[in-house]
Amino acid sequence: MLKAEFVEEAVKHGGSTKREKRIKPKFKTGQKVRTRNLNPIGHTRLPRYVRGKLGVIHHDHGIFVFPDTNASGLGEKPQHVYSVRFEAKELWGAPGTGGGVIYIDLWDDYLEPALKRAKPKRVRK
């Protein structure tokens, strides 16, 4: 139970979900990436508007708990979170959307390298 006398400390300290782990990042700053087209019925922090889109890694925030697994009892699965930059045109189509560049924080598991084939390889019969 959180007692009144510990509230100040709890508030001041908070509860960071950053984790000190030795995990290599899958992506580098400046690298082009494509967000995966994930549609889980469980919890995810990958919004629909940014799925299957081309972006650029802006910054690596470090390693954090992964909400998709953490919300369904599958564990923390800590991994790198990146600030990824998307052009408005990539997300919304034609110009005249008021412009803007969107930066969104995305986990390793949401991303793949942009050079990966968007379509599956043709199978030789």
Q: How far apart are CA 60 and CA 44, in angstroms?
A: 19
Binding mask 40-59 for another protein (x = CB under 8 A): xxxxxxxxxxx---------
Site for another protein contains 94 (CB under 8 A): no
Judged by CB under 8 A, the stretch of 20-28, 29-37, 67-75, 112-120 that binds another protein is 67-75
Q: Locate the DSSP E strands across the chain.
A: 32-35, 54-64, 79-87, 101-107, 111-113
Closer to another protein by CB, 31 or 85: give it: 85
Alpha helices in the chain (DSSP H): 4-13, 67-70, 88-92
On the 0-12 / 13-18 / 19+ scale of CB atoms within 10 A, 121 is: exposed
Closer to another protein by CB, 57 or 81: give it: 81
* Residues of this chain that bind another protein (CB under 8 A): 1-4, 6-8, 10-18, 39-50, 61-62, 64-65, 67, 70-72, 81, 83, 88, 91-92, 97-107
